[in-house]
Amino acid sequence: MFTLRSIAARLILAISLTVAVACAILGGFSISQQRALTRLALDQQLKLQYDSVIAAIDYEGRTALAVSAVIAALPPVEDAIAKGDRDGLGKLLAAPWASIKAQGIPLISFWQAPATSFYRVHAPKTFGDDASTRRTTVVESIKAGKPIVGVEPGREALSIFGMTPVMHDGKTLANVDIGVAFGKEFVDRAKKRFGIDLAVHSFDGQSFKRLSSTFGDTAVATPDELKSVMNGTAVLRDATLDGHAVELYLGQIKNYAGEPVAVLEIIKDTSDYAAAAASAQRNLILGVVAILAAAVLLAFLLGRGLSRPLTAITAVMNRLSSGDTSVTIPGSKRRDELGTMAKAVDVFRRGMIEAASLRDAQEADKVKAAADKQALQRQMADRFEADVKGMVAAVAQSSGAMQRVANEIATSVNGTSERTSAAPPRRRKRRPASTQSPPQPKSWRPRSPRSAARSPIPAASPTAPWPRRWKPPRW
C-alpha cells in the first residue's frame, strides 16, 4: 500500500483533497441550482409569454371590435343594409378593407338574424349561408344587441372576431363582424414582438390542424401532447429544433364561452441560456481550479513551515542521541507547539548534560575510592610485613636463648649421666601397669599481658592477622 512518510506531503494532500472535495460539492450544488434556476426562469418566461400571446389575441379582438364599431356607426352602411344593397356596401368598404387587410385584418362580414350571412367584403359572392351552429357569438350579439369579442371557427379557419350590432330605430338591423385570422401575419407579429416561435393548432373535435407557424412544417409537439392540452394539462419540456436546444410550452386557446378550441405552441430558443450556463460553469471551474491551486500553495507553505522546524529538531535529536550536547535547539522562542517541542528537547539536552556531569563525578569518586582502597591495602600490607618481621626476629632471638638453655641442660644431663654411671646401680621398684598413669601432655595457655610484656616476643598488631598457634618445645 502506498504511504506518504513526509508530513508536508500528507498536509498538502489532505488540504488539497479537502478543498477539492469541498469545491466539487459546492460546484455540483451550484451547477444544479443554476440549472434549476435557469429552468425555473425559462418556465416562468414561457408562461409569461403564453399569457402575453393570449393578451395579444385579446388585443387583436379588441382592435377588430373597434373597427367594427367604426363601420357600424357609418350612416351609409346602415342605409345600404336597410336597402339590401350589397354592391353599395362593396363600393363603400373596398378601399378601407384593402387598408386594414394589410394590417392583418382580412375579414369583414355582415350578418342578419339569426346568423345569416348578408355580405362578405372579402368574399362578396358568398352570402346567404347560416352560421348559427358555429358562430354562437353572432347569434348572441344580434339577439342581445351588444358588441362581443371572441375566438371562433370561421368559414375557412379559426379566427379572432370582434362584432358590433348595426342599430336602426332601436332595433338590431345587422351585425358588423371583423375577423383577424390566425394566419402568417399574426404569428409573425407575435414572433417579432415577443421573440419566440409559435404555432396555432385548431381542433375540430377529432383532429388537429396547424393554422400557422413561424418554424415551418417541423413538428415539435406530439399529437398526444396536443390532446393532453385540450384536456386541460399544460405541457412544458425541453425539446430540439433545427439542431439546437429549445423549450416547449403548450397552452389552450379558448373561445368566447371559455371552451378550448385550439392549442398555442410556443417555442423558446435556449441557446443564450445554454451559453450563459456554459460560461458560468466554465467560470466556476476556473474559480475552483484557482482555489485549488491557492489551497495547494498554502498547504505547501504550511507543510514547509512545519516540516523544516521538525527536520531541524530531528537532526538535533540525532546529534543528542550520539552524545553531542553542544547543539543549539532551534525554535525554542516560538510560541506554538513547535516551540513547546523545542523546549522539551532543550530540557532533554540539559538532562543529558546533568547526567553526564553526574556520571563523571561518579567515575571520579570511583577512581578516588579505588586509590584510597589501594593505599589502605598497601599500608596494611606494609604494617603486616613489619609486624611479621618483628615476630620472626623475636622468634629467632627466643630460639637462640632456648638453644643456649638446651645446651646447658644437655651439658648438665651429660654430667649427671657420667656421675650416675660411675655410681653402683640401684634397683628401683616398678609400679604396676594398672596403677601407672600415662604421662599427661602439657596444655599451652596464652601468656598473660604481664608476661607478654616481659617476653622478648612482640605482641601481634590488632590489625595484623593472628599468627599460628605456637607450641613450646618439650623438655
The answer to whether residues 239 and 355 belong to one domain is: no
Q: Is residue 224 part of a domain?
A: yes
The answer to whether residues 261 and 190 belong to one domain is: yes
The answer to whether residues 264 and 190 belong to one domain is: yes
The answer to whether residues 346 and 265 belong to one domain is: no
What is the largest distance, in Å, between two alpha-carbon atoms of the chain?
Answer: 233
CATH code at position 134: 3.30.450.20
CB 148 within 8 A of CB 140: yes
Choose the final residue of a domain: 253, 274, 295: 274
Can the peptide bond before residue 114 be classed as cis, meaning omega within 30 degrees of 0?
Answer: yes
Q: Is residue 438 part of a domain?
A: no
Residue with cell 529538531: 313
The answer to whether residues 47 and 182 belong to one domain is: yes
CB 376 within 8 A of CB 454: no
Q: Is residue 97 part of a domain?
A: yes
Helix axes 75-83, 86-102, angle to 10 degrees: 140
The answer to whether residues 13 and 116 belong to one domain is: yes
- Which residues share a beta bridge with 220? none
pLDDT of residue 23: 86
The answer to whether residues 241 and 121 belong to one domain is: yes
CB atoms within 10 A of CB 321: 9
CB 268 within 8 A of CB 242: no
Q: Is residue 466 part of a domain?
A: no
Question: How many independent structural domains does the chain possess?
Answer: 2
Segment (H or E) for 8:
helix 7-72
Choose the final residue of a domain: 400, 418, 447: 400
The answer to whether residues 252 and 347 belong to one domain is: no
The answer to whether residues 249 and 167 belong to one domain is: yes
Q: Is residue 442 part of a domain?
A: no
Q: What is the DSSP string of 270-309?
A: -HHHHHHHHHHHHHHHHHHHHHHHHHHHHHHHHHHHHHHH
Choose the final residue of a domain: 243, 274, 305: 274
Domain extent for 200 = 7-274
The answer to whether residues 345 and 263 belong to one domain is: no
Phi-psi region of 241 (alpha: psi -120 to 50; beta: other; left: phi over 0): beta
pLDDT of residue 205: 83
- Tell me how far apart the alpha carbons of residues 329 and 346 are, in angstroms, rounded to a whole number: 6
CB 266 within 8 A of CB 251: yes
Residue type, 451: S
The answer to whether residues 209 and 338 belong to one domain is: no
The per-residue pLDDT string of the chain (475 residues; one tens digit each, 9 = 90 and over) reads 456 667 777 778 888 888 888 888 988 888 888 888 888 888 898 999 999 999 999 999 999 999 999 999 999 999 999 889 999 989 999 998 998 888 888 899 999 988 999 999 989 998 999 998 888 999 999 998 899 999 998 888 889 999 999 988 888 899 999 999 888 888 998 999 998 999 999 998 888 999 999 998 888 999 999 999 999 898 999 888 888 888 999 999 999 888 999 999 999 988 888 888 888 888 888 888 898 888 888 888 887 777 777 778 788 888 888 777 777 777 777 777 778 878 888 887 888 888 888 888 888 888 989 888 888 888 888 888 888 888 888 888 887 778 887 888 878 777 776 666 665 555 555 555 444 445 554 444 555 544 444 444 444 444 445 455 555 555 4
Q: Is residue 79 part of a domain?
A: yes
pLDDT of residue 399: 79
The answer to whether residues 345 and 227 belong to one domain is: no
Q: Is residue 229 part of a domain?
A: yes
Q: Is residue 208 part of a domain?
A: yes
> Strand order of the sheet with strand 208-213?
208-213, 197-203, 260-269, 244-254, 235-241
pLDDT of residue 439: 52
CB atoms within 10 A of CB 348: 15
